[in-house]
Amino acid sequence: MKYVYAFDEGRGDMKKLLGGKGANLAEMKRIGLPVPEGFTITTDACNMYYEQNENMGDELISQIKSSLSELENRTGKKLGGKDSPLLVSVRSGAYVSMPGMMDTVLNLGMNDETVKVIAKLSDDERFAMDSYRRFIQMFSDVVLGIEKYNFDNVFDDVKESKGVTQDTELSAEDLKAIIEKYKLIVFEHIQEPFPQDPQKQLLMAVEAVFSSWNNPRAKIYRQANDIAHDLGTAVNIQEMVFGNMGEDSGTGVAFTRNPSTGEKALFGEFLMNAQGEDVVAGIRTPQPVSALEKQNKKVYDEFLSTVNALEKHYKDMQDIEFTIEQGKLFFLQTRTAKRTAASAIRVAVDMVDEGLITKEEAIMRIDPSIIDKLLHPTFDPNALAKAHCITKGLPASPGAASGKVYFYSEDVVRAKNNGEKTILVRMETSPEDIEGMISSEGILTARGGMTSHAAVVARGMGKCCVAGCHDVKVSESEKIFYVGNMLFKEGDEISLDGNTGEVYKGIIPATKVEFSGHFGRLMKWADEIRAMKVRTNADTPKDAKTAVKFGAEGIGLCRTEHMFFEEDRIPIVREMILAKNIEQRQNALDKLLPIQKKDFYDMYLEMGNRPMTVRLLDPPLHEFLPHEAKDIELLASELNMEVKVLEEHIAALEEHNPMLGHRGCRLGITYPEIYQMQCKAIVEAAIDVKEKNGSEIELEIMIPLVGNKKELEILRKLAIKTLEDVFEQGQQILKYKIGTMIEVPRAALTADEIAQSADFFSFGTNDLTQMTLGFSRDDAGKFLPIYKSREIYEKDPFQSLDQTGVGELIKIATKKARNTKSDLKIGICGEHGGDPQSIQFFAKVGFDYISCSPYRVPIARIAAAQAEILSKK
Ligand code: ADP
Ligand code: MG
Ligand code: MG
C-alpha cells in the first residue's frame, strides 16, 4: 500500500486520503504557486497505525525514509546534514479542517550541531538560536508531553530580567541561555537528554501527530461538529521557510474576503520577523495585511494577485497562511474559509454576480442550519442606549450576548448545567477552552486579533465574541478582571456586542435581526428553484405575520386547541366539556362560536389570499380541566357545582394513556356539535373577511387522527353539511377542501381507502413517529439520549425523520393514496417539516408542500430548493 505521496503526486480532490491541508498543498503546487517542497503521509497510514495498536510498522517507516531522501535530493539539503541541513515542519491535517485541534512541530531537524551550521549559513546567530529554542519548546510540548508553560515561564523570566517586552529584543546570547535552561527542563521530565538524532525526531513527531487525532480536545471538537472519529489525520512533512529571518521576513494569515461580513476585501494580519503560531497566539499585536504594501510593495502585489487567483481557482473564499523569507513569498496553506452565516450568504450572492458560480451552486453552498444563526440576536436599541459601555475590543464574531462572567471552561460548563447564561472571559483562548466556548453565550478575550483562536472558533460556532480587548486586565487564577479601576468577579454580569466589539456592564435584552438584502436575493432564487411549497404552523395572527415575513406561502397547520386555552374562554370551554346534556353543551358552544369566529377572522385577515389549513379540535378534553385542588374549588363555585361532583366528573375523563385515548376525530364522532361549531366559525369568518377585503379564500378543513376511512366519511359529511347550511343562509359560496392528517399507522396502511374521502393529506409526523416507534414523545427523554449515544437511533427521531421506519410508512401511504387520486395534495406539518434532512426525503417522496414553525420557514425554503437541485443531478 502506498502510504506516502510527494506534494506533486497529489491533487485538491484527494482530501479524504491526504487530508485537507495535504490535498490543498498539492493543488497549490500543481497550479504553480510558491509552496515549499514536501510530502504527505496518508490518513490510511494513521488508521493503520491505530489498527496495529499504535504501531507505525516497517513498511510505513521505510516509505517515509525513501520520501525523505527524495525531498533531500530535491532541496539539495539533508536532515541533520553538516553542510546544508534540511529543516522541516511536521503538520497534522485531517479530511475536515479542525483549526488548532491537533499538533504541528516546526524547525524539526535542529540539534546542537545543526544550529551552529545554520547560524553560519544564515550569518545570523540570533535567528538560528531563536529557531532552535522554538523547536525544543514545540517538540517537547507536542511529542514529549512536557507542558508549554514550563518553557514559557523560563522565557518570560529571561525577558523580565533583561528588561525587554518583545521577543525580538532578546539577543543570541540570551537565547543560548534559554536553550540550556530548556534542555534542563526536558531532562528533568524525561530523564534523558533532548533527542539529537533528526531521523528519530521525525518519526517521533509523525507518531505524535497520529496520536493527536485522539487527544481530548480533538475528540470534543469532533463531537460538537458531527465529524466521524474514524477519518484519521494525514501528516505533512514540509521544508521550512523562515519568517523569523530578520525584518524582511514575516508570517501571516489572510482571508480573501471578510469572514464576518462577507465584504469583498482582503482581510488578514501579519507579523514581521515572526514564525508560525506567533500571529494567532496573540503574543504580539499583528498588523493588517494592507500594511504589507508599505513594508514591501513587490511582495504585496504578488500576494494580492496570487490570492485572487487562488479564489478564482477554488471558486470560494479562502483562508490562507503565508510566510515571507527574506523578501520571498511562500504559501503554506489554503482552505475554504470558515465564515459567519451573514458572510456565507453575502459571499455566495456576490460570487453569482461576479460570474464565478451559478445560483444553484450558491444555494447548495448554504448549510440551511446557519440560517438560524442569521437571525442572530442584536441588543434592543432602547436598552442599549441606556447601557453602560465599559470598554471596546475587536468585533471578532457577531451577535449579542449577556451572561455571568466565568474564567475557566469547566466553570462555564458547570454554570450552564445549573441553568445560568455565561460569558467566558480569558486572557486568550486555546483549544483547551473548547468546551467552555461551546457552553457559553459569548467569549471575551484580552489578547489576540481578528484571526486569533477565539475569533476563528467563535465565528465557526456562530457565537458572539469580542477579542483583543486590551483594557481588560484578567487574572484567571484569581477569577477577576479589571477595566480601569472597575472590578468584575466570577458571577458578575456583562454583555458583549459582537458586531461592534463593545463590552457593557450588566444584562441587556436582545432582539432578533431582520433579513438583509443579500439574504433576500438568495431566498428569492431558492423560491424560483424549489418545487415544494413552504407553509407554516401558526395558531395566532402574530405567528402568522412573522411566518409571512419569513416567506411562508400559507398556513399548513392552524391548531385550534391553543385558542381554547385563552383566559377569556377557558371557563366556557369547561362548561362545554362538563355539560350534563346536549342542551347545556349546545348552550356553551353557542357562546364559544363568536369567539372562535373572531379567532379565524383575525387569522384570515392576516393571511390575505394565502391558504390556511385549520385542524379541528385534537387533544383529549381533560387537558382543559383543572387538576389542582384550589382550581377545582374555584371552578366548582363558578359552575355552581359541588366540589365532589366536579371531582368525580374530572376523574371520569381521566385516561390511562391519553395519547391513544379519547381525542382527535374520536371527539368529532362522539361530540359532533363541537366540530360543527368549529366549521361554522371557520366559514362565517371567511365570508366576513371576503366581504371586507375581497380575499378569495378557499377553506381547508383538516380532520385529525383518522385511522379508518369511515371516521373520515362521517366527519366529512358533517363538515360539508355545516358549510352548505351557512352558504345557503348567507347566499355566499366559498370553495372548500376537506382533508385529513395521516398520523395513525393504520391510516398510512389504508391510505388508498382514506384518500377516497380526502381532498388532501397532511402527515402528522409527530404522532406518526410516536405510534410507529411506540415511543411517547413526553417520556422518551429518559432513554433517547442513551439510544442516541449507542446509535440505536442515530438522531432524535422526533427532530429528524426516521426514514427507514416512519419514512417507509410515508412512502407506502403516498403511493396508495396517489393510486386512488393521482393529484391528491400531500404535505407534512410535523416538527420534521423544518428539518433539512427530512425535507430532502419529503421532496423525494413527491410531497407538494411542507409546513413548519415560523422561524424555520427560511431554512425550509433553502432546503426545499436544495432538494430540487439534487433531484436534477
Ligand atoms: P494548524 O493546522 O494548526 O494551522 P499548521 O500545520 O498550518 O497548523 O502550522 C501552523 C503554522 O506553522 C503555519 O501557519 C505556518 O505559519 C507555520 N508553518 C508550518 N509549516 C511551515 C513551514 N514548512 N515553513 C514555515 N512555516 C511553517
Ligand atoms: Mg494552519
Ligand atoms: Mg397529531
Active site residue 679: no
Tell me the average pLDDT across 102-107.
88
Q: Mean pLDDT lowest for which of 456-465, 532-541, 587-596, 864-873?
A: 456-465
Give me the pLDDT at residue 790, please.
Answer: 86
Ligand 2 centre distance from Cα of residue 19 (Å) = 12
- The confidence score (pLDDT) of residue 388 equals 94
pLDDT of residue 225: 83
Q: Report which listed range, 247-251, 396-400, 566-570, is most confident.
A: 247-251
At 281, the pLDDT band (50, 70, 90 cuts) reads low
Residue 861: pLDDT band (50, 70, 90) is very high
The pLDDT, as a whole number, for residue 377 is 76
Q: Give the list of residues 6+ apart from residue 693 with CB closer than 8 angstroms, or none.
A: 605, 608
Out of 35, 273, 323, 326, mutate this one to test ligand 1's pocket (max ligand atoms within 8 Å of CB): namely 323
**Average pLDDT for 427-453:** 88
Residue owning the nearest CA to atom 10 of ligand 1: 276
Is 32 buried (19+), middle (13-18) or exposed (0-12) by CB count in 10 A?
exposed
User: Which ligand sits closest to the CA of 90?
Assistant: 1
For residue 251, what pLDDT band results from cuts at 50, 70 and 90?
very high
Question: For ligand 1, what atom is nearest to the CA of residue 101?
Answer: 3
Give the closest residue (by CA) to ligand 1 atom 12.
276
- Ligand 3 centroid – CA 517 distance (Å): 38
- pLDDT(516) > 70: no
Q: What is the mean pLDDT of residues 86-91?
A: 96
Q: How far is the CA of 511 from the centre of ligand 1 (A)?
A: 41
Ligand 1: which of 92, 104, 270 to mutate, judged by most atoms within 8 Å of the beta carbon?
A: 104
What is the DSSP track for 676-738?
Answer: HHHHHHHHHHHHHHHHHH-----EEEEE-S--SHHHHHHHHHHHHHHHHHHHHHHT----EEE
pLDDT of 139 reads 96
Select which of 453, 622, 649, 832 is catalytic: 453
State the Cα torsion 405-409-413-415 to the nearest 10°.
-30
User: Above 80 in pLDDT, residue 101?
Assistant: no
More confident residue, 697 or 513: 697
Q: How do residues 134-163 score in pLDDT, each as one tens digit? A: 999 999 999 999 998 999 999 999 989 998
Residue 777 is predicted with a pLDDT of 79
Residue 822 has pLDDT above 80, yes or no: yes
Across residues 504-533, what is the average pLDDT?
Answer: 88
- Counting ligands in written order, which one lies closest to the CA of residue 742? 3
- The answer to whether 242 and 127 are in contact (CB under 8 A) is yes
Report how far ligand 2's centroid is from the alpha carbon of 829 (Å).
Answer: 45
Taking 90 as the threshold, does the pLDDT of residue 70 lie above it? yes
Q: Over pLDDT 70: what percentage of the chain?
A: 98
Q: How far is the CA of 422 from the centre of ligand 1 (A)?
A: 33
> What is the CA(201)–ligand 1 centre distance, in A?
18
Residue 138: which of 186, 172, 71 has the closest Cα? Answer: 186
pTM for this predicted structure: 0.79
- Closest-approaching ligand to the CA atom of 322: 1
| CA–CA separation, 422 and 415 (whole Å) | 7
* pLDDT average, residue stretch 50-74: 96
C-alpha to C-alpha distance for 507 and 386, rounded to whole angstroms: 11
The protein residue with its alpha carbon nearest to ligand 1, atom 22, reads: 240
Tell me which DSSP letter residue 554 carries: S
Nearest ligand 1 atom, CA 321: 14
Ligand nearest to the CA of 324: 1
Per-residue pLDDT reduced to its tens digit, 621-639: 888 888 888 889 988 998 8
CA distance 677 to 560: 12
At 514 the pLDDT is: 58
Nearest to 503 by CA among 415, 409, 394, 408: 394
165 pLDDT more than 90: no
Ligand of minimum distance to the alpha carbon of 705: 3
Cell of 563: 385558542
> Can you give the pLDDT at residue 823?
95
CA of 242 to the centre of ligand 1 (A): 11
Q: Would residue 313 show up in a list of annotated catalytic residues for this protein?
A: no
Residue 28 pLDDT exceeds 80: yes
pLDDT bucket at 833, cuts 50 / 70 / 90 = very high
Calculate ∠ Cα 747-749-750, nearest 5°: 65
pLDDT tens for 354-382 read 999 999 999 999 999 788 667 767 788 77
In testing the pocket of ligand 1, which one of 321, 325, 456, 457 has its CB within 8 Å of the most ligand atoms?
A: 321
The least confident of 99-108, 184-193, 517-526 is 99-108
The confidence band for 820, taking pLDDT boundaries of 50, 70 and 90, is very high
Average pLDDT over residues 439-462: 85
Q: Please identify, by atom number, the ligand 1 atom nearest to the C-alpha of residue 103.
A: 3
Split at pLDDT 50, 70, 90, the class of 249 is very high
- pLDDT at site 541: 92
Q: Which residues line ligand 1 (CB under 6 A)?
A: 36, 89, 91, 100, 104, 106, 238-241, 251, 276-277, 321, 323, 332-333
- In ligand 1, the atom with minimum distance to the C-alpha of 279 is 16
Q: Per-residue confidence at 342, pLDDT binned at 50, 70, 90?
A: confident
Angle at 605 between CA 599 and CA 611, to 5 degrees: 95
Ligand 1: atom nearest CA of 92 is 6
- Residue 402 pLDDT grade (very low, low, confident, very high; cuts 50, 70, 90): very high
Mutate to test the pocket of ligand 1, among 41, 89, 92 (most ligand atoms within 8 A of CB): 89
Residue 530 alpha carbon to ligand 1 centre in Å: 43
- Residue 512: the pLDDT is 65
- From the list 465, 665, 829, 852, the catalytic residue is 829
